[in-house]
């Protein structure tokens, strides 16, 4: 077998950067193929958290002392780096949240309050994660608005004709995934944003599954909001990003109240801080922000284009291997897809598959994957999903398909 490489970097070298990957489970080498749930963290990220707490920890934006100055500078430098990473026009457009879910909730809460009224419409798609459905559902219910669902083609691609037809003068906002967490479909986001804008609607993109696998350029996409989580891109849990166009964020009311987000407080009237601080109530997750910066730097240092190329080749390899196993039904056969394969062996429940392959040291995801409307769409109890990251190898795919074949044999 030829060596797995990204550009000229041996994958084994990359694997050595991730301490957890050398671990054994049930006395077998860990084969971690649940990266769409969360990615593992390289040492540089873990070390960054440690060094922050060992040498820099202090509360930011409010101290007059040395440490607070340092931490504030590091925090804001990270914001600048992250703005650059997704091509935002300014760091003021980067709001830190706990993750994609909180980013969506922030927009649903704040944008909803300001711009959505009775009879207005919000569009989501059939392939959305619950995090990009439920916040809109709650907001629509509260404001008497209507949530409409764009259908899919059976192969797992969005029905773009239906999308266009559903846009109308009542559409206030479109919320859709950049990449589907179940199907791996890469939606033609740029074209959809343009269509939505023509209809006068704003667009929020859930980029949770995209950031580790695609080059994200919010200026090029021209989306109004873009959300992602650190933990799905080699960075810590509990830190996420909401990108919003400055002129829109300016118009939105604060979402949560507290420290940090204010300019002046009195019992008569409180005035709010400027962007992005207006949306960051309370002490921020400084270590998380610095960890996210370290994770994104790590990703860039390996070369995003090269990673994409490597993961695509690995995805093709995995799909070919899986096709040699009889009786497997695949979900998500979009021409443009990334990093994820969902499937079901005929007549076998996904939970049973997951339980058996786990015993072989293989970590995959089974179940509805927080996308129950998709299980309904396909009429199945759930899926089995393998999802890739830059550190996965062909050898791991072989171990997985071996374990899968054994599981099917046992369960048939």
> Does position 26 bind other proteins by CB under 8 A?
yes
Minimum gap (Å) between residue 231 Cβ and other proteins: 17
> Does position 368 bind other proteins by CB under 8 A?
yes
> Does position 349 bind other proteins by CB under 8 A?
yes
| Nearer CB in complex with other proteins: 253/381 | 381
Minimum gap (Å) between residue 406 Cβ and other proteins: 9
E-state strands within 140-293: 146-150, 171-177, 202-206, 225-229, 240-244, 262-265, 270-272
Binding other proteins by CB under 8 A: which of 20, 191, 265, 410?
410
> Does position 388 bind other proteins by CB under 8 A?
no
> Does position 359 bind other proteins by CB under 8 A?
yes
Look up residue 315 and give its two tokens: 């995805």
Active site annotation includes 370:
yes
Q: Work out the number of other CB atoms within 10 angstroms of the CB of residue 20.
A: 11
Total residues contacting other proteins (rule CB under 8 A)?
17
Binding other proteins by CB under 8 A: which of 143, 350, 357, 393?
350
> Does position 402 bind other proteins by CB under 8 A?
no
Look up residue 202 and give its two tokens: 């704003």
**Structural contact between residues 39 and 232, judged by C-beta atoms closer than 8 angstroms:** yes
Nearest-CA neighbor of 234 among 16, 368, 10, 389?
A: 389
DSSP reduced 3-state for 287: helix
Minimum gap (Å) between residue 156 Cβ and other proteins: 22
Binding other proteins by CB under 8 A: which of 354, 357, 389, 391?
354
Write out the DSSP string of 62-111: S--SHHHHHHHHHHHHHHHHHHHHTT-S-GGGEEEESSHHHHHHHHHHHH
Length of the chain in residues, anyone?
Answer: 412
Binding other proteins by CB under 8 A: which of 165, 355, 376, 395?
355
Contact residues: other proteins, CB under 8 A: 26, 348-352, 354-356, 359, 366-368, 381-382, 410-411
**Catalytic residue numbers, as ranges:** 370
């Amino acid at each position: 077998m030829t060596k797995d490489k990204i550009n000229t970097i041996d994958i084994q070298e990359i694997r050595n950067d991730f301490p957890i990957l050398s671990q054994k489970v049930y006395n077998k080498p860990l084969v971690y193929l649940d990266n769409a749930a969360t990615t593992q963290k390289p040492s540089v990220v873990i070390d960054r958290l440690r060094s922050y707490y060992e040498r820099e920890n202090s509360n930011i934006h409010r101290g007059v002392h040395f440490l607070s100055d340092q931490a504030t500078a590091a925090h804001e430098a990270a914001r600048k780096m992250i703005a650059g990473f997704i091509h935002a026009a300014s760091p003021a457009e980067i709001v830190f949240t706990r993750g994609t879910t909180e980013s969506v909730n922030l927009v649903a809460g704040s944008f909803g309050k300001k711009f959505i009224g009775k009879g207005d419409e919000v569009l989501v798609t059939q392939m959305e994660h619950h995090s990009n459905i439920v916040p809109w559902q709650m907001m629509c219910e509260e404001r008497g608005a209507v949530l409409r669902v764009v259908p899919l083609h059976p192969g797992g691609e969005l029905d773009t004709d239906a999308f266009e037809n559903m846009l109308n003068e009542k559409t206030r906002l479109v919320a859709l995934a950049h990449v589907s967490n179940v199907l791996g479909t890469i939606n033609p986001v740029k074209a959809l944003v343009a269509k939505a804008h023509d209809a006068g609607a704003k667009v929020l993109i859930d980029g949770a599954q995209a950031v580790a696998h695609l080059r994200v350029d919010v200026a090029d996409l021209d989306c109004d909001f873009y959300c992602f989580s650190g933990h799905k891109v080699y960075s810590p849990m509990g830190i996420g990003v909401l990108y919003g166009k400055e002129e829109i964020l300016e118009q939105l009311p604060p979402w949560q109240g507290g420290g940090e987000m204010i300019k002046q407080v009195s019992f008569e009237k409180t005035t709010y801080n400027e962007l992005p601080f207006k949306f960051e109530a309370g002490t921020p997750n400084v270590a998380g922000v610095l960890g996210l910066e370290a994770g994104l730097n790590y990703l860039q240092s390996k070369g995003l284009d090269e990673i994409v190329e490597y993961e695509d080749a690995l995805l093709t390899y995995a799909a070919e291997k899986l096709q040699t196993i009889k009786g497997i039904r695949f979900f998500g056969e979009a021409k443009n897809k990334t990093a994820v394969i969902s499937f079901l062996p005929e007549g076998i429940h996904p939970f049973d598959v997951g339980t058996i392959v786990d015993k072989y040291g293989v970590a995959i995801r089974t179940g509805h994957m927080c996308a129950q409307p998709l299980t309904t769409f396909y009429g199945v109890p759930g899926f089995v999903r393998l999802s890739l990251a830059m550190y996965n190898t062909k050898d791991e795919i072989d171990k997985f398909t071996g374990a899968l074949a054994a599981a099917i044999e046992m369960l048939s």
